[in-house]
Each structure stands twice: as structure tokens, then as C-alpha cells.
Chains A and B, each alone.
Chain A
Amino acid sequence: YKLMMNYCLSGHPTLPCNVLKFKSTTIMLDCGLDTTSVLNFLPLPLVHSPRLSKLPGWVSKDGTVNLEKELKECAGRVFVDSQPEFCLPEKELLDLSTIDVILISNYHCMMALPYITEHTGFTGTVYATEPTLQIGRLLMEELVNFMERVPKAQSATCWKNKEIQRMLPGPLKDAVEVWTWKRCYSMQEVNSALSKVQLVGYSQKVELFGAVQVSPLSSGYSLGSSNWIIQSHHEKVAYVSGSSLLTTHPQPMDQSSLKNSDVLILTGLTQMPTANPDGMLGDFCSNLAMTIRAGGNVLVPCYSSGVIYDLLECLYQFIESASLGTTPFYFISPVANSSLEFSQIFAEWLCHNKQSKVYLPEPPFPHAELIQTNKLKHYPSIHGDFSSEFRQPCVVFTGHPSLRFGDVVHFMELWGKSSLNTIIFTEPDFSYLDALAPYQPLAMKCVYCPIDTRLNFHQVSKLLKEVQPLHVVCPEQYTQPPPSQSHRSDLMLELQPPPMPYRRCSVLSLPFRRRYERIHLLPELANSLVPSEIKPGISVATVSAVLHSKDNKHTLQSVPKPPPVPPTKKRKRVIEEPPEVLAPKPLLSGAVPLEAFLATLHKHGITEVKVEETADGHILHLQAEDTLIQLEEDGTHIVCDNNEPLRTTLRDLVLRFLQKL
């Protein structure tokens, strides 16, 4: 058994970060950034908000701890008044500078990349598909823009003090790893991190140091999203992250290539196992229409890429029938334009239907038409053109879905007080109650339609039955029902053998049966081999060769012939040259049959043989030569004095009857 190690650096099952040590390579699988930490912070308003600035500071009940500068109270909850911070992957579990490569599975799972590539001494390569890189860049750019647009001088740290944190009300009290929380990176760090990305295509085989081959497979979840196969000739690890079997815009999931893996690491299942995405989409449309008809506005907090393409496509079909033809739809984000444009140029990465549109040639996504007909307008921010062109009632798509920063904060302040307006949550990453907490009390309607197209437990167990991995590794959350639905045993993984669970900071040794390695016999050597059939269908050949190992690739080549002895040297010396150290002969197998052997001896002029039977065989006395040969089932002993030519002849005659291994 050869062990392979898996270091788990993130506890978030859909924003994973694992490190695999496999055949002397160190591979990081995804680089997810847990942004749920920002829910503990106050929103960053784009324009001065009297409401937020008047919130009371927090002082402990007994008055001993006063953190009124850092913490504010709102509707019974306490928020940190500081630039929002993110929970990074664990940096202490292993030396991150030893990481050789980082494999990215989709653009949501790479948001921590600059923290890893820029500040740990990382010198390796990041592999990702082109859509993942381009859209990932947009999402990072958006995040940086959201933060830098409203700089906050204050950086609150006192509350992180262990003694103090213990006294705070929940959920702040229970927040973990708060000392490792970090502010957002800069655009410079993003550019530097992304310059380390090497693009790959689906099913491309990438060789790492000659030892390991990695290959991305379509995972069906988002544009360019992939699962990864990490394999050598004799072992195969499948890394499944954010996969979908629903027919939305991306290329369908490649399931068959996951087959026969020794270990399957399973992450990124749906966060909404009980919400049907199609049903949610229906709810989304009907609530949207209802609000507009009643004269209210609709706010959709969302990421700038992904489900928004499906929402727009759904609306494209829905607008006319719901007579929303005159309602303006706005998409506000610093990267709105880029995201819409980029979505149209990745034909290779789209589902079949969309691909065929490109062949016509037509843009694959109908939002091109929505833009052309002025039904959908996009703006980099609420400032500038938007403020003069903006008409109500309308529908606004904008970020960030946490409601803590970005243009969405402005719309919350603007529309929150009227019950005519509706906020529709579609992103599953944040609890909507937590997201809304700093805006309470709130008059606007809230609709929760989380659309998570990732695999559910039913789909994943069917998938695992088909691809049959020997072992499954998954976040511990998947091995028990969700805490809020502890009776639902269908909302967990039940497998035989049971999956190996991990949590943040786990180090798992993965069972691995590795007994063989690939080696190449050079043509000259291969041609010189003499196979002999040992049993029906099984042949063997002895191989004596010189091993060359370079870059983890092994070859065997023929033993070079010794250089010819220079003629000037005395012949005599040659005999005295001792043989090569440690050049053993092959092992022998079989038996020497008496009658046939005697006949052979006879043929070679050895005729005077006295045969004596013993307990284990026979002793042959070659009388003329005064030599003994002891023949037994599993051994032959030749006793021969002072007659080297005879001895070698006898040796060769015996060898004729034996197999060499």
C-alpha cells in the first residue's frame, strides 16, 4: 500500500480547497474563498446613509467592554463597522510554497487565488479553462471595485480578541478563525495571480513532471466549469466539484471519464437540496411579474455571471406573455458589459443547443436581443448615465448577493421602506435572513428562490453507482443530514464503504494500492527478448537491461557491449579480469528428466554412466570423467574437478531442460 495524502484547507463544502500529495507532486484542488464572513459586517453604502451612521455602538451589558467604535447594533444584532473581511483557506497546515500546481474547477472556486499565489512563496502554475479564467477575472475585478469604491479607513481588530469575542452576542461570538480573516486583495494582486494561469481545454492531458497526468472534464455547472482527473498509469483520483446534470447553458457533464477511480473527492453539491431549480425559476418569474404589475420595483441581488444568464433567458421568453414589454431591466455592475459580451464568445463551452446557434451565426444567449431592443440596459454603477436614464417601476440585477457591498446596498436603502417593492434572492450562497439583518426593520417584500443547479444527493448517489470509485472522500457535512432537517436521511451520502469525511484542517491518508509503474523498453531491447511459453497463454522472457530514469520517466535499454579490448594489451590479462560485480544469472525452474538427460549425454559422447537411485532422485556417475551429477526434482548438483570444459558442457546440457526466469 502506498499512501496519498489529502490536506483539507477549507471547511466550506462548496468553496473547497484541498491539497493532494500524489507521487511526489503537490496539487492544490481549488482555491475557494469563504465570503460568508462578510455577513458579520455592516453594509458599505455608496452614498452617505444617515440610518447606518446613526446606529448605536455596542457596549456589553455590564458595561465592562466598550466597543462602540467597532461594533454597531441593528435590530438586535451586532455588526462589525469595518471593511468587510473574508475567511481564507488554512495557511498553517502545510507549507504552501511547496505547491506545484493549482487546479481550478470553476470561477466561483478560485476567489482566494491571490491570497495563495501572492503571499506564500508559491512558484507553481495554475490550470484553468479559458471561460473560468476570464469570468473569474471579472468576478475578482468586481469584488475589488466594490471594496475600493467606498474605502473605509477603519479596520476593526479589538473585537477579535479571544476574551472579548467570547462576550459578544451570536453569531459574532461563534465566528471561527477570525484572526485569519483578511481584507480584499488589490487589482495588482489579482493580475499577478492570474498571470500564473495556464489555459487548458476539456479532456486535454497535461503532464506534470512526467509523474502525473491531469485532465479537466466538463462538469456542466457553469461556463468552462470542470472536474479533474489526476492519474498515473496505475492510479486514478477523480476530483468532483460543482457539477450539474441539469440542462442549462454549459456543456453537459462528462460522467463516463470519472469511471474506475481509486479515490473520488466529492465537493460542491447543491446547497439547497430541497429546492427544485425549475420550480424556483417559476417562482422567480411570477413574483417578479406580480410586483411590477402592482407598480413596485424588483431587486435581484446576484453574481455578474452564471445563473443571471439563465434568468435573463427565462425572462426573454416570459416578458411578452407577462406583458412586461415596457418594463426596464437593469444590470448594474462594473463588469456587466464584459460579462454579457464574454458569455457570447465561448461557443465551445456551451450546450449543444447554444452551439448550433453560433453556427447560424447568431449569438448563443438571447440577452443580446434584449440589449439590442433596449429591454435590458447595463451600467457600470448607479453613478453616471444610470441616474439620469433610470425609470421606475423596474427590475434591477446587481451585486453583491451578500448585501454588504456593491450597488445593491444603495437599492436596499432606496426601496427597503416600501412594501410595493420586492427583493428576490436567487443566489444560494448566503442565508437571506442574515443578509437582510442590518436592513431591519424592512417593509419591502422578500422572496427566497435560491437556484442551485449543482448535484443533489439523489443525483450524486446515482452517479457514484455508475462510476464506482473504490473510495469516496467528502466534506463531513455530506455524511449527516443538514442540522435543520435531521430526520431527512435522504439528504446525506450513504455509501459502502462509507465515505471518508474531512473538515477544515483534516489530513487524510488515502488508501492506495500502487504496485506498478510504467516503464518503456527501448526498441533494440524489446527486439532482443526471447519469450518462451511457460503455460498456455503465458510467456516469459528474461530481461537484463540498464535502467534510465529522468523526469520521473523510466526506460530500459540493452546492456552496452563492452568496448573491444585494445589489441596492444596482453590477451592474458583478459582472463584475469574478474567478472562484473552483481551480475547474477536468471533463476531456473522445472526439472531434468533422467532418460532424456542420459540420451543427451550419450549424444555428447558420455556413455559410461552409472545411475544410482536415491531417496530424492538419482546420482549419475560419469565414470570415464570421474564426475558426479546429482539429479533431484528441484535441484541439480554437478561435482566436477579440474575439468572446466567438461563442467561447462554439462552445465549447458542441464540448462537445456530448464526454464530461465
Chain B
Amino acid sequence: MPEIKVTPLGAGQDVGRSCILVSIGGKNIMLDCGMHMGYNDDRRFPDFSYITQNGRLTEFLDCVIISHFHLDHCGALPYMSEMVGYDGPIYMTHPTKAICPILLEDFRKITVDKKGETNFFTSQMIKDCMKKVIPLNLHQTVQVDDELEIKAYYAGHVLGAAMVHIKVGSESVVYTGDYNMTPDRHLGAAWIDKCRPDILISESTYATTIRDSKRCRERDFLKKVHETIERGGKVLIPVFALGRAQELCILLETFWERMNLKAPIYFSTGLTEKANHYYKLFITWTNQKIRKTFVQRNMFEFKHIKAFDRSYADNPGPMVVFATPGMLHAGQSLQIFKKWAGNEKNMVIMPGYCVQGTIGHKILNGQRKLEMEGRATLDVKLQVEYMSFSAHADAKGIMQLIRMAEPRNMLLVHGEAAKMEFLKGKIEQEFNINCYMPANGETETVTTNPSVPVDISLNLLKREMALGGPLPDTKKPRTMHGTLIMKENSLRLVSPEQALKELGLNEHQLRFTCRVQLQDPHSDSDTLHRIYTHLKSVLKGYTIQHLPDSTVMVESIVIKLSSSAEDPNTKVLLLSWSYQDEDLGSFLSTLLKKGLPSGLC
């Protein structure tokens, strides 16, 4: 039985360093190649030694697919391709291909230049790695090789995020990456067709959450920002440069305009302008409304939002600052946080998920004293708010996607074990399909049951369809007979006659002749008629003919009658049939041996 194997090297019962290996129809595919934000050691990257102990990965992988530009999905890519060694194709969408190297370079700078780590990938390695990237367009069917094909679908999580359908023969897997089933202020909702994959590998970040309506969350967010500004406080919003940041900027921009607010809004790092530019050039990847109106008003040109300078953090009075990175684990957002943490008038709003080990995670869990580098502690007095703006599907969204794609099996990654467990139960109950949740390094094997594509001769098919009628009778299905010819890689189904002819074989006729004696005190012709009548009543739906030369024919079976010379009441029936009519012939000889019922006229 063919089987599909799935092994997470990262994101198995965990969030971070997504990296999932799939073996399907003899092909090996790596889905995402991310880093873990919560670690600074070896655990930062997936354990590629699982694939091979010695050396390069090229011969073990047919392709690598990156779902979107977040570092927990692509952060280990240059390490994998340039340091471990992989020269095969890497697929990602155009926006991902554009933005991914910038975030990688940013990540490299923080790690190497600021933290002074060595043995890390270089700028050149990022460039070399990106040269191996083949861009993917939505819905385009890309033939990786003769057997392996992939197709990207819109995932809505960030600009350029894609789900991917991987197909070999009639077996297939869908990997969702991160996705969002509700459109937001700048992106559309994820969508997939009814592709019925053998396995749907889904993220499950918000496996147990059913989020309230987006509108309420937006109103809450604006209210909190507004209140803080009103009382003269400062609002810090740690974000990643691309993604949620743009959505929140659009939100604040329109609010400021409507309320005629004057407090400054800043956006940190030089990346912003660039980031907005990407949104403008890839406007076809945003939501319908933005796409429709972009000629008149480009939503990514902000009037109220200005570039941030480090010195502004000490300015008196209210302000709103978007700063990177989003989990307060390094960089500018952390610096500003340290400055503002001591004042209870201020507020930090965490708009996304924070992985374990980050300061973001700690303060969200209510920690009020933070140990900083150099034994210093930091008292957290400012208000800490969490607003789930990260665009992941919630439990409802995940169920909705299952309904869309109709998978035969479900496999959860990118979530916490306990939450996955809960969702797994719900999925198995509602859809009656198996749901798996392997841990990192664990392999889940799913047996598939693919149907076998065959070329049927048009003659045979047309004849069968004509005889069977448009709808098969479920009670009495018609059986079709054919011969499957297997030659090299071709499978052809033809009629037995055609098969004989094509293969240059002679037909061997197997015939049977059987004499049956019958006591019937009638004239020969009367007896024959009695036989005819008897068979007519027993064999409904058969062609039965009474021929003038003392024969009755049932289909192609011949029944000849002669009377014994000694006793005219003893009739001898000669039945003759070919092997093709064996069932009927055997039935008839048995039936006639029992004699004719008396009531026949």
C-alpha cells in the first residue's frame, strides 16, 4: 500500500522553526525552513542531521517550499542551503521572494553585529540562497519534475503568504503555512478548492480560540490607544516590520483622521518606507477593497505616520510608536520598552503571538520584574495589553478550511500540544477523519489508497455506457468485462476481443455438449414448444427463440431435440454451449434434467 510520511523537524507540537518533511510517492519535500525566536543555541534551527548525518541535503530533497516571509518559516533557509548544503529548487511566491532576504539580512545583523555571534550565515550566503529560489504564482501548477507538481493558494496571513498543494500521481498533501480565514484591513481571506488531499497539514496557533469579531477587537484597540493618549501616556506597539504593522497603521491612520487627533504616530526603522513600497507594488496580493481603489487612493501612503528617530523616545507628551521586533526580544522595541516600562501612564500593546523565552511572552504572563542582562532587573509598571491581531485562523477558521478542502486525514503543526489535543478531538468528532499531531522528529505514516488511472478504449467505454444507460441501477449493477494490458508504463483497458487481436493471440474455443433425457409423452414439436414455454417463464430477461429446425436457442445456447428410436416418449435433448455461456449452460442442463412441469400447455 502506498503511504505518505510526515516528519516535523520543527513546529511539531510547538510554535517556531517550522520545518516539515513530507515523503510522498517517492518524493521528499521540505515545507518551510524556519528559526526559533525563543532560543539562541542549536535549537534555534531545525535539526537537519535527521535527514542525513553526513553532508549535503541536495540528493535527499526534491524541493523546498517556503510558505511566507516570517522568520519562523524561512529564518534557517540560508543556513540549510549554504552551510548544510542544498542546491535543489526552493519555491516561494514573488512577495516572499522580495521580502524574505531583507528580513534574513536584518536577522543576521542583529545576531552577528549586535550579539557578536560567529559561525552564522553571511550576507553573501543569503544572496546565494536566494538565487536558488523559483517564484510561484497563485494557482499556477508548477511541475517540479515529471511526477511532482505543486500549486499555491492564497493564505492571507501576511503579504505573499501561500498554502501549497503537493501532488504526486493521485496522492496529495496540502500544507497551509500560516493562514487567516477572515479578511482584514489589508489582506483577503485564505481560500482553497475542494482538492481532497490525503493529508491536510494545518497550523493550529489558535487551536482553542474562537476570536470575537474583528470589529470589536479593533474598537478595543483604538479605545485603549485613545485613552492612553488622552491621559498623556505613550503607547508602544511592538510589531514586525511587515504584516500586522500595515494593518494597524491603516487602522490608526483612519482613526486619527476621523477624530482629528494631533498626537504623533511614529514607525521605527528605515524598513517601514520600504515595506510600504512592497505593499504598493504587490497590491494584487492585498484585499479586494484596497486593490479596487489603489489608483485613486493608495492605502499604503500614510499622512499621519512619520519615521521614528531614537531621540524621540525621550520627548515629553503622548505619542504612539510602532517598533520592531514584535516579541520584544531585541532591537528598538526592546530599547523603547526599557525606557517606558517604569511609567504606569504608558502602555504596551502586544498585537501578536509571543514565543516562550521572549520578554513579550513573560510580560504577557503577568511577570512584573524582568531580569535583564548584567543582573539588572526591570520593574514593569506600564500597562500591558494583548490584542490578538496576528492573522492566524482560529478554531472556527481551521474547521472551515477542512470543510473547503475535504482532506482524508488531518495533521496539526505550529501550535501547543495541549491545545492541539483539544482541536484534534473536535476534528475527529466532527469530520470522522484521523487527526495526527506528531512531535518534532516523530514520523507519522498515513497509508493512502489511490485509485489507478487507466486508459480505456473508447469503443469499450461507449458500448458500456450505451448498454448501461446514464444512471447505473444500484440494485442490479451491470458488470463490464475488459482486459487490462500492462506494457511498460502504460495501462490500457480494452475489450477481450481487441486484446486478443492486439497481442496477436489465437482464441481457444472451449465448448460443452450435454445430453439430457426427458420423459414427455408428447409429439416432438409439442415437447419442444413445452420446453420453450417453460424456459420463457423461468428465464426472465433472456432472449429465447423457437427455431423451425427443432431447436430452441437461449441466447447463444443451442437445444436440439430428438426422440429415442425405441421409446417415442423418451426425448433426448442435446445442449451445446461455449465457455462464455458457462453459467447459463450449466443452469439449463440442471434445470432440464428435472423434467418439465405438468401444467405446461
Contacts and interface: CB of A to CB of B under 8 A. Distances in A.
Same assembly: yes
A579 B584 contact: yes
B277 interface: yes
Across the A-B interface, the 9 shortest Cβ-Cβ residue pairs: A635-B509, A579-B583, A587-B496, A516-B455, A520-B451, A523-B449, A641-B515, A359-B98, A519-B456
B484 A541 contact: yes
A521 B281 contact: no
B456 A554 contact: yes
B491 to A, nearest CB: 9
Interface centre among A348, A633, A639 (most CB of B within 10 A): A348
Contacts of A151: none
Interface in A551-577: 554-556, 559-560, 575-576
A644 B456 contact: no
Contacts of B591: 576
Contacts of A344: 281
Contact of B452 (A234, A526, A580, A647): A526
B480 A587 contact: no
19 contacts: A516-B456, A516-B458, A521-B451, A523-B452, A540-B483, A540-B484, A541-B486, A543-B480, A554-B461, A556-B480, A578-B540, A578-B542, A580-B583, A637-B513, A639-B513, A640-B514, A651-B510, A651-B512, A654-B510
Given A347-B282, A521-B451, 14 more contacts: A203-B137, A204-B151, A345-B294, A348-B137, A358-B281, A515-B459, A518-B455, A544-B479, A587-B507, A587-B580, A588-B510, A641-B516, A642-B517, A648-B586
Contacts of A635: 508-511
B191 to A, nearest CB: 12
B450 A523 contact: yes
Interface string B518-546: 00000000000000000000111110000
Contacts of B508: 588-592, 634-636, 658
A339 to B, nearest CB: 9
Contact of A637 (B274, B511, B590): B511
A494 interface: no
A586 B484 contact: no
Nearest to B580: A584
Interface in B440-479: 449-459, 461, 464-465, 468, 470, 472, 477-479
A639 B507 CA distance: 20
A546 B472 contact: yes
Interface stretch (A116-124, A417-425, A531-539): A531-539
Interface stretch (B138-146, B202-210, B423-431): B138-146
A581 B477 contact: no
A48 to B, nearest CB: 33
B500 A587 contact: yes
Nearest to B515: A641
Interface residues of A, number: 95
A545 B579 contact: no
Nearest to B480: A547
A200 interface: yes
A209 interface: no
Nearest to A531: B486
A342 interface: yes
Interface of B is mostly: mixed
A201 B485 CA distance: 38
Contacts of A233: 455
B139 A130 contact: no
B492 interface: yes
Given A584-B580, A644-B586, A661-B500, A345 B507 contact: no
A517 interface: yes
A587 B461 contact: no
Category for how many chain B residues contact A: 35 or more
Of A204, A581, A590, A654, most B-chain CB atoms within 10 Å: A581
Contacts of A345: 280-284, 294
Contact of A578 (B139, B283, B449, B539): B539
B278 interface: yes
A108 B492 CA distance: 44
B456 A661 contact: no
A183 interface: no
B295 interface: yes
Given A540-B499, A541-B483, A578 B509 contact: no
A542 B481 CA distance: 7
Q: Residue among B459, B500, B540 with the most chain A CB within 10 A? A: B500
Contacts of B284: 130, 345-346, 348
A528 to B, nearest CB: 12
Interface in B76-125: 94, 97-98
Nearest to B298: A341
Contacts of A361: 98, 274, 277-278, 281
A585 B170 CA distance: 32
Contacts of B593: 642
A580 B278 contact: no
Interface in A617-642: 633-642
Given A345-B294, A523-B449, A523-B450, A537 B509 contact: no
B232 interface: no
Contacts of B470: 549
Contacts of B281: 344-345, 347, 358, 361, 363-364
Interface in B575-601: 579-584, 586-587, 589-591, 593
B497 interface: yes
Contacts of A578: 538-540, 542, 584, 587
B317 interface: no
A235 to B, nearest CB: 11
A542 B140 contact: no
A192 B170 CA distance: 39
A659 interface: yes
Contacts of B503: 534-535, 538, 540
Nearest to B581: A584
